[in-house]
């Protein structure tokens, strides 16, 4: 057992919330925290190098150790929740070091979301291939939080459709209305709206998604109701009765938040309304998050940046939009992500056949588990923010 292992194990003795069971490479086990705690987690450390990763790079190091197969857990989301609840007690072990943080910040700045930069960033995540996403998303091909609305037995597909239906209901959208969708994804919302006789103009900068979305609408006989375009949101033309944007603002980047909210205001008809579904970080965590690029920004969404709820309100006021409703359903997102993780695990062999190696598959597992833990601990939430033009 080296110095890094001893230091991390000593630090874990500060555990104050829940119970952690750690199985070590030498066959022994250690238990940290209260033996009778309701919240518990388990980790198997397969190589002593795990501790060096954690000591040097904190939470990012932990993620990288998992990606490299140096550790495992029978319930990864639960383990991450447990570690998050003890972040304050774990101190430097929970944070990447100053030099690594500086490097990550510089890398994050390189992923600026200019028009060309945004295309590169979106391509890096959404153009992994429709075949990849089709394996583990539900038949609606929806890659955003579902809405279970208290019904734990609701199937994922029905919960995704319920989310779309709520958006249309809140907007008061009716047959013949014109809706602009910023970030139309694989076309799930556009199809739902078109079936109601609503005309939809959708924009995306993912060629893979655009091809799929156009195809599904053709097959559904709804193409005459929908105009899907390969276009940056900053180049949109025309005015619309309503604007919808579902979990796209996370990819805009802090520098361009004013452009995004100005776009909402500029392209609404007088009296029109917009609904933005957004992942937000809790106000109390925002400053730290803003200065410390996390696992998601480093490995999953280059250029991504979450707003806080307060930040959304500030951007709306500046742009001349009135907030009509902020509806949060973060625990539904935790459930969505855990369902995706289960589905992803069930098709791991098929993902491998598409050419994705074990490190990528472990990275994706960690991503889904990490996000689920964020919503479970309420550090992140998902909001449907309904705005009206003033």
Distance, in Å, from the CA atom of 244 to the CA atom of 179, rounded to the nearest integer, reads 7
96, pLDDT greater than 90:
no
Tokens 């239906």 belong to 165
Q: Is the CB of residue 136 less than 8 Å from the CB of residue 327?
A: no
The pLDDT assigned to 83 comes to 94
Query: In this model, does residue 144 exceed pLDDT 80?
Result: yes
pLDDT tens digits for 56-93?
888 899 999 999 999 999 999 999 999 999 988 887 55
Task: State the pLDDT at residue 223.
Answer: 96
| Average pLDDT value for residue range 118-127 | 59
Structure tokens at 31: 């238990």
Burial (Cβ within 10 Å: 0-12, 13-18, ≥19) of residue 285: middle
Position 220 pLDDT exceeds 90: yes
Better-scored residue on pLDDT, 124 or 331: 331
For residue 266, pLDDT beyond 90 = yes
For residue 36, how many other CB atoms are within 10 A of its CB?
7
Residue 207: C-alpha distances to residues 78, 245, 252, 263, 338 (Å): 36, 18, 18, 22, 28
Residue 252, pLDDT above cutoff 90: yes
Q: Is the pLDDT of residue 141 over 80?
A: yes
CATH architecture for residues 114-389: 3-Layer(aba) Sandwich (3.40)
**In the numeric block, which tokens belong to residue 55?**
């000591």
Instruction: Find the angle CA(358)-CA(186)-CA(384) to the nearest 5 degrees.
Output: 100
Mean pLDDT calculated for residue range 363-376: 97
Residue 364 Cα distances to 113, 192, 228, 300, 328, angstroms: 23, 29, 29, 8, 25
pLDDT given at position 271: 93
Residues 293 and 299: their CA atoms lie apart, in Å, by: 10
pLDDT at 37: 87
Average pLDDT over residues 14-35: 94
Task: Provide the pLDDT for residue 36.
Answer: 78
The domain made up of 3-96 has a fold known as Nonspecific Lipid-transfer Protein; Chain A (3.30.1050)
Mean pLDDT of the chain: 92
Task: Please give the model's pTM, rounded to 2 decimal places.
Answer: 0.92
Is residue 267 predicted with pLDDT exceeding 70?
A: yes
How does pLDDT run across 169-218, given as a tens digit for each residue?
999 999 999 999 999 999 999 999 999 999 999 999 999 999 999 999 99
296-347 tens-digit pLDDT: 988 898 888 999 999 999 999 999 999 999 999 999 999 999 999 999 999 9
Active-site pick, 71, 184, 316, 371: 371
What percent of the chain is predicted at pLDDT more than 90? 80
Q: What is the CA radius of gyration of the chain?
A: 22
What is the C-alpha to C-alpha distance for residues 210 and 200, in angstroms, rounded to an integer? Answer: 14
What pLDDT, on the 0 to 100 scale, is given for residue 121? Answer: 56
Q: Domain extents for the chain?
A: 3-96, 114-389
Q: Is 71 a catalytic residue?
A: no
Higher pLDDT, 298 or 135: 135
Rounded Cα distance between 80 and 88, Å, is 14
């Amino acid at each position: 057992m080296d110095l890094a292992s001893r230091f991390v194990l000593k630090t874990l003795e500060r555990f104050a919330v829940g119970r952690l069971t750690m199985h070590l490479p030498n066959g022994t086990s250690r238990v940290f925290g209260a033996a009778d705690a309701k919240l518990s987690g388990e980790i198997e450390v397969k190589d002593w190098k795990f501790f060096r990763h954690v000591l040097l790079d904190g939470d990012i190091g932990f993620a990288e150790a998992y990606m490299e197969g140096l550790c495992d857990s029978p319930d990864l989301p639960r383990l991450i929740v447990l570690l998050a609840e003890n972040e304050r007690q774990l101190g430097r072990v929970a944070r990447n070091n100053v030099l690594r943080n500086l490097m990550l910040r510089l890398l994050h700045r390189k992923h600026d979301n200019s028009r060309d930069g945004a295309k590169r960033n979106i391509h890096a995540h959404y153009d992994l291939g429709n075949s990849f996403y089709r394996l583990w998303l539900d038949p609606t091909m929806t890659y955003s939080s579902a809405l279970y609305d208290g019904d734990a037995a609701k199937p994922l597909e029905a919960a995704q459709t319920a989310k779309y239906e709520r958006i249309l209901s809140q907007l008061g959208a009716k047959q013949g209305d014109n809706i602009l969708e910023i970030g139309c994804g694989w076309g799930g919302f556009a199809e739902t709206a078109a079936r109601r006789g609503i005309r939809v103009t959708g924009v995306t900068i993912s060629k893979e998604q655009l091809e799929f979305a156009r195809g599904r609408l053709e097959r559904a006989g709804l193409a005459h109701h929908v105009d899907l375009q390969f276009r940056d949101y900053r180049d949109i033309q025309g005015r619309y009765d309503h604007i919808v944007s579902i979990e796209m603002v996370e990819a805009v980047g802090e520098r361009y938040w004013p452009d995004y909210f100005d776009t909402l205001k500029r392209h609404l008809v007088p009296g029109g309304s917009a609904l933005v579904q957004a992942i937000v970080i809790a106000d109390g965590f925002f400053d730290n998050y803003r200065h410390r690029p996390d696992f998601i920004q480093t490995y999953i969404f280059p250029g991504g940046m979450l707003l806080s709820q307060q930040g959304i309100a500030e951007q709306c006021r500046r742009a001349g939009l009135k907030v009509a409703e902020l509806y949060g359903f973060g625990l539904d997102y935790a459930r969505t992500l855990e369902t995706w993780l289960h589905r992803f695990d069930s098709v791991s062999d098929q993902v491998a056949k598409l050419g994705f190696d074990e490190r990528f598959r472990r990275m994706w597992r960690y991503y889904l588990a990490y996000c689920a833990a964020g919503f479970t601990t309420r550090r992140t939430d998902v909001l449907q923010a309904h705005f009206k033009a003033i």
